[in-house]
């Protein structure tokens, strides 16, 4: 007994010691340059920096008059990474040589500064040591830079990728730079489409963000523009330095038939050696990678920082320490395309034409990328209102990868974040919050941390929400499935959302009834309640209204996560003669697998499950939370913190039907007619009573 008390006392003491400081400083530790997303709207191709006018950079580095200037660079990887960091360092070496060696320009650098705290220390040290120009070569260093720069008003700081020079915060000595990697990506894409014989191109990306994402988006758009039938397989390794995985990704692409590869970040060295071994061509970006495999690296987009750097240096010497933003573009020769001579002349011609057109402004790469997006997700049809920066917290009962309820919400948030950029749209989340007490703690913490909108993604969180919400009157809370905004409890800052899944269920039912030949359809439900119940109700009604002779066998597993039992339920349905299956909740991944093995079509709900079995998932009722979320965000920013109920319906786009191309046209037509009927009100969904 005493022992335990003693132990507790010690723990408490520890806690007290720990409390001595402030709140825990949550330093963002980013492994590698995760570069901020461009905040421009996709339609705008003009680079419109948010803070300052982009300087027009002369391609020719002007080193005239540069003397005894001291430059320090803090970089996230190494000077020989053959990628992001090396491109900059090489430029500096060139300038140094031009300006007259080490006497004219002194260089110092810190490599592998993936810990931002360390980087901040390095930046401050360099500034204190009297370096004239301190370059922090990564977006992640921005926050630290803004803290440090005011202390050294006569030191020039530069960082990128960014367009924010901190002028808003009254900072005068920061330059921002960015590389419009999508431009060269587009050109490489055009070239790749011209070179590929198999019609398949592989892309080995690091993390789907920042510079890499720009390059790859541009690449895909270029390839598609040159040849709409080409297939570009994009894979991300999830890190910048995982050489082995990048090599593996390259192997995979080649196995999938790719005969042209590209990729970005320092990891690609692995992929290039694979490309060399397998005799396929590689297109590089950022730095010149042909040293690795001269025969294999046939095209490169090179970042030429000379112009930007000399501009910064000249300004520094002239007493202008910051306040401008630069961009590397094809037009200002900051991006240089380099093609191997061995290439097919027609392909090069097409690529060079594209490069010229981009430089001249005739090709709008951002619009081309947006066009791609529009074709695939048609999300671009949404009107995205202008919003102020917003911080959103999501508390969910399962995981962001559950292929069901939780993932549908998370995916929609990510869509918004991709549009508005990480700076303007922050997402945090807590997964597996099946314990309501924990969820309540999470909700309160997020509110106390100043998140603007807190989404409690489950009906079980309601009672906690109504307790917490009154304490944070200017925070918006949202929860569902429900229609209760807490009026009865006097709460004013809670939104409710309510997916009317019987609508999508009905449409799937109509489709299923048209597809079935055996006249039997199987449904694998979790628990007969909430939106799973609505799904069943609607589905059964849709089937009945289409063909009363078709029978729907409904079974429930009694839990949301029992994958194995859901699989067994699917087998049972098939054994009972079902030739179309559907079901809901995260458990159904098991059932989808069974359907795939048995060759039975599956109709998904909530989240897109095609990744599991592309040929099996023939239709999906997709929850699109984007309109709901935008409604909540705009209300919140207009000072209306709650009180509205959002329904997700077919009419308002909250539910979307996705049909596979393989479906027979009549079946899809019938389903679409049902969609129209539900939207115009001519179809009334009448549920049959069940047990």
Partner 1 sequence: MKRQFFDRLIDALLPLFAILLAFAIGALFLLWQGVNPLEAYKAMIVGAFGNKNGLADTLVKAVPLMLVALGIAIAFRGGMINIGAEGQIIVGALFTSWVGLQLGGGLPGWFIIIIGLISGAFMGGIWGLIPGFLKAKLGVNEILSTIMMNQIAIQIGFFLLRGPMIDPAEVAAGTNIPQSARLERIADMPRFTDMAKWFGFTESAKNLGLEGFTKEIYGLFVDPTRFHSGFIFAVVMAVLVYILLWRTTIGYRIRAVGLNRHAARYAGMNVKQTMVMSMTLSGAFAGLAGAVEILGLHHRMFEPVAVSAGYGFAGIVAALFGKLHPLGIIPSSILFGGLLVGGDKMQRAMQIPQVLIVAILGLVVLFVVSTDYLVKKRQNRRVSVTDGDDDLAIVEKMKESLKEAGADEEVDA
Partner 2 sequence: MSENLTMAAIILGILHSGIRLATPYLFASIGETISQRAGVLNLGVEGIMLMGAFFGFYATMQTDNPWIGLLAALIVGAMMGLLMAIASITFQAQQGISGIGLFMFGAGVSSLLFKTMVGNVVSVNGFSELTFCVSDMLCLSEIPVLGDIFFSHSIVTYAAFALVPFAAWMLNETTWGLNVRSVGQNPEAVDSLGVSVTAVRYAAVMVGSALAGIAGASLSISLLGLFQENMTNGMGFIAVALVYFGSWKPRGVLLGALLFSTINALQLWVQVLDLNIPSDVAVMLPYLLTIIALALPFRRSMQPAALTKPFKRGEN
| Residues at the contact surface with partner 2, assessed by CB under 8 A | 238, 399, 401-403, 519-520, 522, 525, 527-528, 551, 553-559, 561-565, 567-569, 571-573, 575-577, 586, 589-590, 593, 596-597, 611-613, 691
Residue 16 near which of partner 2, partner 1, none (CB within 5-8 Å, type-dependent): partner 1
- Closest CB to partner 1 among residues 172, 489: 489
Q: In this structure, are residues 325 and 176 in contact, taking their beta carbons and an 8 Å threshold?
A: yes
Residue 6 near which of partner 2, partner 1, none (CB within 5-8 Å, type-dependent): partner 1
- Closest CB to partner 1 among residues 166, 530: 530
Token pair in block for residue 16: 């007290």
Nearest approach, Cβ of residue 641 and partner 1 (Å): 18
Residues 354-413 that bind partner 1 (CB under 8 A): 397
x-marked contacts with partner 1 along 458-477 as a string, rule CB under 8 A: -xx-xxx--x---x------
Q: How far apart are CA 261 and CA 269, in angstroms?
A: 12
- Closest CB to partner 2 among residues 78, 401: 401
Instruction: List the strands of the sheet with 156-160, edge to edge.
Output: 105-110, 69-74, 133-136, 156-160, 174-179, 325-328
Per DSSP, helices labelled H in 606-664 are 626-637
Q: Is 414 in the site for partner 1 (CB under 8 A)?
A: no
- Strand, coil or helix: 501: helix
- Closest CB to partner 2 among residues 11, 576: 576
Among 448, 575, 676, 686, binds partner 1 (CB under 8 A): 448
- Closest CB to partner 2 among residues 435, 559: 559
x-marked contacts with partner 1 along 521-550 as a string, rule CB under 8 A: ------xxxxx-xx----------------
Residue 322 near which of partner 2, partner 1, none (CB within 5-8 Å, type-dependent): none
Residue 577 near which of partner 2, partner 1, none (CB within 5-8 Å, type-dependent): partner 2
Quick one: which segment of 112-120, 262-270, 360-368, 572-580 binds partner 1 (CB under 8 A)? 112-120
Among 483, 487, 599, 684, binds partner 1 (CB under 8 A): 483
**Segment (H or E) for 273:** helix 268-278
Q: How far apart are CA 285 and CA 321, in angstroms?
A: 30
Q: Is 564 in the site for partner 1 (CB under 8 A)?
A: no
- Closest CB to partner 1 among residues 344, 684: 684
Rounded alpha-carbon distances, angstroms, from residue 562 to 263, 481, 526 = 39, 22, 8
User: Which among 139, 80, 75, 69 has a CA at the least distance from the CA of 104?
Assistant: 69
Rounded alpha-carbon distances, angstroms, from residue 4 to 7, 219, 517 = 5, 62, 68
* HSE-CB of 492 using CA atoms within 13 angstroms: 8
- Closest CB to partner 2 among residues 95, 567: 567
Residue 659 near which of partner 1, partner 2, none (CB within 5-8 Å, type-dependent): none
Residue 565 near which of partner 2, partner 1, none (CB within 5-8 Å, type-dependent): partner 2
Residue 589 falls in which region: left (phi positive, over 0), alpha (psi -120 to 50) or beta: alpha
User: Which among 312, 325, 308 has a CA at the least distance from the CA of 155?
Assistant: 312
Q: In this structure, are residues 309 and 324 in contact, taking their beta carbons and an 8 Å threshold?
A: no
Residue 26 near which of partner 2, partner 1, none (CB within 5-8 Å, type-dependent): partner 1
Q: Is 16 in the site for partner 1 (CB under 8 A)?
A: yes
* HSE-CB of 98 using CA atoms within 13 angstroms: 17
Q: What is the largest CA-CA distance in the chain?
A: 90
Q: How many residues bind partner 1 (CB under 8 A)?
A: 67
- Closest CB to partner 1 among residues 459, 598: 459
Residue 210 near which of partner 2, partner 1, none (CB within 5-8 Å, type-dependent): none
Rg (CA), the chain: 28
Number of C-beta neighbours around residue 390 at 10 A: 22
Which residues, 6+ apart, have CB-to-CB distance to 485 below 8 Å? Answer: 491, 494, 495, 496, 642, 643, 644, 645
Nearest approach, Cβ of residue 378 and partner 1 (Å): 28
Residue 1 near which of partner 1, partner 2, none (CB within 5-8 Å, type-dependent): partner 1
Nearest approach, Cβ of residue 609 and partner 2 (Å): 8
x-marked contacts with partner 1 along 416-445 as a string, rule CB under 8 A: ------------x-xxx-xxxxx-xxx-xx
| Percentages (nearest 5) of helix, strand, coil residues in the chain | 45, 20, 40
Residue 2 near which of partner 1, partner 2, none (CB within 5-8 Å, type-dependent): partner 1
Q: Is 498 in the site for partner 1 (CB under 8 A)?
A: yes
Nearest approach, Cβ of residue 572 and partner 2 (Å): 4
Which residues, 6+ apart, have CB-to-CB distance to 364 below 8 Å? Answer: 45
Residue 444 near which of partner 1, partner 2, none (CB within 5-8 Å, type-dependent): partner 1
Token pair in block for residue 98: 């031009």
- Closest CB to partner 1 among residues 166, 509: 509
Nearest approach, Cβ of residue 423 and partner 1 (Å): 16
Nearest approach, Cβ of residue 282 and partner 1 (Å): 29
Q: In this structure, are residues 241 and 221 in contact, taking their beta carbons and an 8 Å threshold?
A: no
Which residues, 6+ apart, have CB-to-CB distance to 107 below 8 Å? Answer: 71, 72, 73, 92, 93, 96
Q: How far apart are CA 603 and CA 668, in angstroms?
A: 13
Number of C-beta neighbours around residue 242 at 10 A: 17
Residue 33 near which of partner 2, partner 1, none (CB within 5-8 Å, type-dependent): none
Nearest approach, Cβ of residue 380 and partner 1 (Å): 29
Residue 555 near which of partner 2, partner 1, none (CB within 5-8 Å, type-dependent): partner 2
Q: Is 484 in the site for partner 1 (CB under 8 A)?
A: yes
Length of the chain counted residue by residue: 691
Residue 49 near which of partner 2, partner 1, none (CB within 5-8 Å, type-dependent): none
Q: In this structure, are residues 175 and 312 in contact, taking their beta carbons and an 8 Å threshold?
A: yes
Residue 423 near which of partner 2, partner 1, none (CB within 5-8 Å, type-dependent): none
Instruction: List the strands of the sheet with 453-456, edge to edge.
Output: 425-430, 390-395, 453-456, 476-480, 494-499, 645-648
- The residue to which tokens 């309540």 are assigned: 440
Nearest approach, Cβ of residue 525 and partner 1 (Å): 12
Contact positions vs partner 1 (CB under 8 A):
1-8, 10-12, 14-16, 18-19, 21, 23-27, 29-31, 114-115, 117, 397, 428, 430-432, 434-438, 440-442, 444-446, 448, 459-460, 462-464, 467, 471, 481-484, 498, 500, 527-531, 533-534, 558-559
């Amino acid at each position: 007994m005493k022992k335990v008390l003693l132990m507790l006392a010690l723990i408490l003491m520890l806690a007290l010691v720990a409390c001595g400081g402030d709140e825990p400083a949550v330093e963002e530790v980013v492994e590698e340059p995760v570069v901020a997303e461009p905040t421009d709207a996709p339609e705008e191709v003009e680079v419109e920096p948010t803070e300052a006018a982009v300087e027009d950079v002369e391609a020719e580095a002007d080193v005239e008059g540069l003397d005894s200037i001291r430059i320090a660079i803090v970089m996230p990887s190494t000077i020989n990474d053959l990628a992001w960091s090396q491109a900059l360092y090489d430029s500096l070496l060139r300038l140094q040589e031009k300006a007259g060696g080490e006497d004219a320009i002194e260089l110092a650098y810190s490599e592998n500064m993936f810990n931002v705290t360390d980087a901040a220390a390095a930046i401050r040290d360099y500034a204190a040591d009297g370096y004239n120009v301190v370059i922090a070569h990564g977006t992640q260093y921005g926050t630290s830079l803004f803290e440090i720069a005011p202390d050294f008003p006569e030191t020039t700081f530069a960082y990128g990728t960014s367009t924010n020079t901190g002028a808003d915060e009254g900072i005068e000595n920061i330059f921002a730079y960015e590389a419009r990697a999508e431009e060269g990506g587009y050109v490489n894409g055009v070239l790749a489409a011209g070179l590929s014989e198999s019609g398949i191109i592989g892309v080995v990306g690091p993390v789907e963000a920042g510079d890499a994402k720009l390059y790859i988006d541009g690449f895909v758009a270029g390839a598609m523009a040159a040849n709409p039938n080409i297939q570009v397989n994009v894979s991300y390794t999830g890190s910048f330095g995982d050489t082995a995985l990048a090599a593996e990704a390259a192997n995979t692409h080649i196995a999938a038939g790719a005969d042209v590869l590209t990729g970005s970040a320092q990891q690609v060295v692995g992929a290039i050696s694979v490309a060399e071994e397998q005799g396929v061509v590689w297109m590089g970006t950022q730095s010149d990678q042909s040293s690795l495999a001269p025969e294999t690296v046939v095209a490169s987009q090179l970042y030429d920082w000379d112009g930007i750097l000399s501009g910064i240096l000249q300004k520094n010497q002239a007493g202008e320490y910051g306040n401008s933003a630069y961009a590397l573009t094809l037009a200002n020769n900051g991006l240089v395309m380099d093609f191997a001579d061995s290439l097919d002349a027609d392909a090069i011609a097409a690529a060079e034409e594209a490069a010229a057109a981009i430089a001249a402004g005739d090709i709008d790469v951002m619009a081309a990328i947006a066009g791609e997006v529009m074709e695939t997700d048609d999300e671009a049809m949404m009107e995205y209102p202008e919003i102020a920066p917003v911080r959103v917290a999501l508390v969910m009962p399962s995981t962001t990868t559950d292929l069901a309820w939780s993932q549908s919400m998370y995916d929609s948030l990510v869509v918004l974040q991709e549009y508005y950029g990480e700076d303007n749209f922050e997402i945090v989340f807590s997964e597996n919050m099946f314990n309501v007490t924990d969820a309540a703690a999470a909700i309160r913490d997020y509110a106390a941390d100043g998140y603007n909108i807190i989404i409690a993604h489950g009906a079980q969180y309601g009672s906690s929400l109504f307790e917490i919400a009154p304490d944070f009157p200017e925070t918006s809370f949202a929860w569902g499935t429900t229609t209760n905004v807490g009026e009865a409890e006097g709460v004013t800052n809670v939104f409710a959302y309510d997916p009317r899944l019987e609508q999508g269920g009905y449409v799937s039912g109509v489709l299923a009834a048209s597809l079935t030949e055996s006249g039997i359809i199987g449904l694998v439900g979790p628990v007969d309640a909430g939106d799973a119940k609505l799904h069943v109700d609607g589905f059964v009604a849709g089937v009945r209204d289409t063909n009363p002779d078709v029978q729907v066998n409904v079974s429930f597993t009694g839990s949301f996560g029992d994958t194995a039992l859901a699989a067994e339920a699917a087998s049972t349905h098939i054994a009972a003669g079902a030739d179309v299956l559907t079901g809901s909740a995260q458990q159904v991944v098991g059932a989808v697998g069974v359907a795939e093995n048995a060759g039975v079509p599956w109709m998904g709900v909530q989240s897109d499950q095609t990744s599991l079995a592309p040929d099996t998932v023939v239709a999906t009722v997709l929850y699109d939370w984007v309109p709901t979320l935008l409604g909540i965000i705009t209300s919140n920013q207009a000072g209306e913190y709650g009180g509205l109920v959002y329904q997700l319906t077919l009419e308002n786009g909250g539910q979307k039907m996705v049909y596979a191309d393989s479906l027979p046209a009549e079946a899809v037509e019938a389903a679409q007619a049902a969609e129209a009927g539900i939207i115009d009100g001519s179809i009334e969904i009448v549920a049959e009573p069940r047990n």
